[in-house]
Amino acid sequence: MSDKEDFRSSFFEECEELLEQTQDGLDALAEDATDTEAVNSVFRAVHSIKGGAGAFGLEALVDFSHKFETAMDAIRSGEVELSDDMLELFRMCGDNLSDLVSNARAGDNSPITSAAQLEDRLFEITGDVEEEDDPEFNPVTLDLGMDLNDVPQEDEGRLVYTIHFHPRADLFAAGNEPAALFKALTRLGDVQVKANLDDVPELSALDAMLCQISWLIEVTTDGNTDEIKEVFEFVEDCCDLTIEPPGTSECAAGGLPGLDEVAISDVDEAMAPDMPNLGDLVPEVGGSVGAVATGKSNVNAADDVAHKPGDASQKALPDAGAAAVARKPAKTDKSSSTIRVDLGRIDKLINLVGELVIKEAMLSQSVDELDIARGSGVSAALDSVKQIASEIQEGVMAIRAQPVKPMFQRMARIVREASAATGKKVRFVTIGDYTEVDKTVIERLVDPLTHMIRNAIDHGLESPEERKAAGKSVEGTITLSAAHRSGRVLIDVVDDGGGINREVVRKLAIERGLIQDSDQLSPTEIDHLLFMPGFSSKTEVSELSGRGVGLDVVRSAIQKLGGRVAIQSDPGEGATFSISLPLTLAVLEGMVVRVGSETMVVPISSVQETVRPMAQDLDRLGVDAVVLRNRGELVPVVDLGAFFGFRTAPQTLDDHVLLLIASDQGPRYALVVDEIQDQRQVVIKSLETNYQQISGVAAATILGDGRIALIIDADTVMRDLGSGGPGSSGLSEKSMRMAG
């Protein structure tokens, strides 16, 4: 039972990869409609989904993927030419396929009724294609990863060799496997394998130790007999083998007399458990072979190109092949050297490593207290333990890191749907698909990004008429990009629409009581009003993005991830929403500071610089407020101890340190702390599990002495100070929370 569950879940995991492969293929086709490798790749992916779905009895999925596959096959065989409309249809089919997969995963195995129209349109494509070309589909539960491609044909410079191969019992006894040999042959060229079942007796008379199947193999290759012999080198002595060079075999060009085309999958299990799917090796005799089970997730485009260097059709398109390789540099390795691991195991490991880091810190602190001489064996050993611990930590974190690509592909779908709903033409561009981010971060980014992209299409892009009038291309562009920068991940959503209409935003904010008429706001401050709770820039609630949630929800979701979001807008040119996120949710690089009698941690990413204040740089404004003159700017000074209520603000800042905090939600400010003690990686511990959120505090951590220190959230400190502008409501928000 559990085995079946295992297979089932690995089928769905494989489906994710196959759906990704489908998307990739369709993307490649959008760039170049004649990319035959892309067509093949989509075909193979859909076919593999169908195969797996059949094995699990997921009929709705089989049914739809069969139709999809048939249409792809028509393109593949050249019977139908790929048009833009068709590509659009295929994309929708891809979306539908992905819906069917997730439904099936959730246990719902019914067809999606709204997809009936898609099926009709698919049928229009395949209507003229004869059904006979598509042999009855028999689900095959296992698959050898063989890529038995097209019919053997004598290409120029390539010859067809005929091999008769009949293994004797000692071949299996020696641990050899015919399927592996056949697979090895595929490296030489196209291989056609036929099994001869004439000698197979009734089941009751079957001797499981003997192999009563012989094979007739046709290899179309530009290699010679020796190369073929080499494949069989290790089994020469335990099989009957003849290799006939071209021209000597009467079967080579024509039919294959004497062969029985009975599917033998019923017999094979009784024969030899090691060769369970001979059925795979028996293609339909005389069929035009388009649909011989070939699709296999780990044989990807790049592999194919490498395996068939002499294939004429590949030669015709060397550029396409090369481009496919160049685009997916990591892909080839990926399939052969990845394992699937339960996320829970990784998380357990991460927690343990977190403990290790804490214990290591505690140990070094105890050693320090013992006052052992520097350079002694103990401290040297401790230093290397420290280094190893941090390397393990990095390594474990890297396991959780995943490329953002699948998420970006989901966004492509959001774009298509939003574009259909608004009637705006949208081109979707992604950059940095292979940027790696913590899996949890990726998962939690889906909702905010969906919202931002819908928002960009709905509110950002102008209508086609407006774009025309503005002299822009009718098609709007949404660019989604990801990149690593100084220990953080930057994700930008860029539209080339009209930009933020600051007049309207300002007016609306006044109407909604978010700002006063008299408030003087900088353009950036106006832009950031979009993130205020209760702000929605469309007067009527639009079907698409106006669901009563505004960008404030996006911002709080990003902040929960320890991230920040900012807007940059040029009127008429478009707007950029930038998200900046930590690489991981488990550790951060922190500055350990003392505030009064408390030890706290400030994330390094927030600290722009540290300043020892000179009296001449500080000015008092009014009774309490102090400003620092720094790089020609007046920077408000905030006492962290007073902010948290640990102490009253010190009269003089002479023996204090200022941390200049860079915030993207407002001006810079300086935090007063008593002393900087250390800079180190700290493990992030949730406060909310057993307590509640605290204004100005992001999380907690455990220091070397085993005590807890709070990690400061520099952005909310800024917001809660109520420095005017967008932040002013932060204070009331906070006081409300405190009152509740």
Partner 1 sequence: MQDAVLENTERKLEVVAFRVAGQDFCFDLASVREIRGWTSTTALPHAQPFVKGVINLRGSVVPVIDLSQRLGFGMADPGARHVIIIAVIANQTVGLLAEVVSDILTVSEADLQPIPEIVDETVRKFISGVLIQEDKMIRRLELGMILDQEGQYAA
User: Among residues 48 and 606, whose Cβ is nearest to partner 1?
Assistant: 606
- Which long-range contacts (C-beta less than 8 Å, at least 24 apart) are formed by 77-80? 77/129, 77/133, 77/290, 79/128, 79/129, 80/125, 80/126, 80/128, 80/129
Q: Whole-number minimum distance, CB 701 to partner 1, in Å? A: 9
Question: What's the CA gap between 150 and 153, in Å, rounded?
Answer: 8
Is residue 157 within 8 Å of residue 189, measured between CB atoms? no
User: Among residues 184 and 649, whose Cβ is nearest to partner 1?
Assistant: 649
User: Among residues 114 and 690, whose Cβ is nearest to partner 1?
Assistant: 690
Q: Whole-number minimum distance, CB 713 to partner 1, in Å? A: 12
Q: Whole-number minimum distance, CB 588 to partner 1, in Å? A: 16
User: Among residues 257 and 645, whose Cβ is nearest to partner 1?
Assistant: 645
User: Among residues 140 and 694, whose Cβ is nearest to partner 1?
Assistant: 694
Residue partners of 669: CB distance under 8 A and separation at least 6: 635, 636, 637, 638, 660, 661, 663, 718, 721, 723
Q: Whole-number minimum distance, CB 677 to partner 1, in Å? A: 15
Q: Which residue has the tokens 């006979």?
A: 132
User: Among residues 122 and 710, whose Cβ is nearest to partner 1?
Assistant: 710
Q: Whole-number minimum distance, CB 597 to partner 1, in Å? A: 8
From 381, 351, 383, 379, select the one nearest 367 (Cα to Cα): 379
Counting Cα atoms < 13 Å in the Cβ hemisphere of 625 gives: 10
DSSP 403-443: ESHHHHHHHHHHHHHHHHHHT--EEEEEE-TT-EEEHHHHH
User: Among residues 78 and 645, whose Cβ is nearest to partner 1?
Assistant: 645
* Residue ranges in contact with partner 1 by CB under 8 A: 351, 354-355, 358, 598-599, 643-646, 685-687, 689-692, 694-697, 700, 702, 706-710, 738, 740
Question: What's the CA gap between 681 and 228, in Å, rounded?
Answer: 58
Helices (runs of H) and strands (runs of E) counted in the chain? 24, 22
Longest dimension (CA), the chain: 105
User: Among residues 644 and 669, whose Cβ is nearest to partner 1?
Assistant: 644
DSSP strands (E only) in 42-188? 159-167
From 340, 327, 339, select the one nearest 300 (Cα to Cα): 327
Q: Whole-number minimum distance, CB 616 to partner 1, in Å? A: 32
Q: Whole-number minimum distance, CB 601 to partner 1, in Å? A: 11
Q: Whole-number minimum distance, CB 371 to partner 1, in Å? A: 24
From 629, 672, 677, select the one nearest 653 (Cα to Cα): 672
Q: Whole-number minimum distance, CB 730 to partner 1, in Å? A: 14
User: Among residues 273 and 645, whose Cβ is nearest to partner 1?
Assistant: 645
Question: What's the CA gap between 184 and 312, in Å, rounded?
Answer: 20
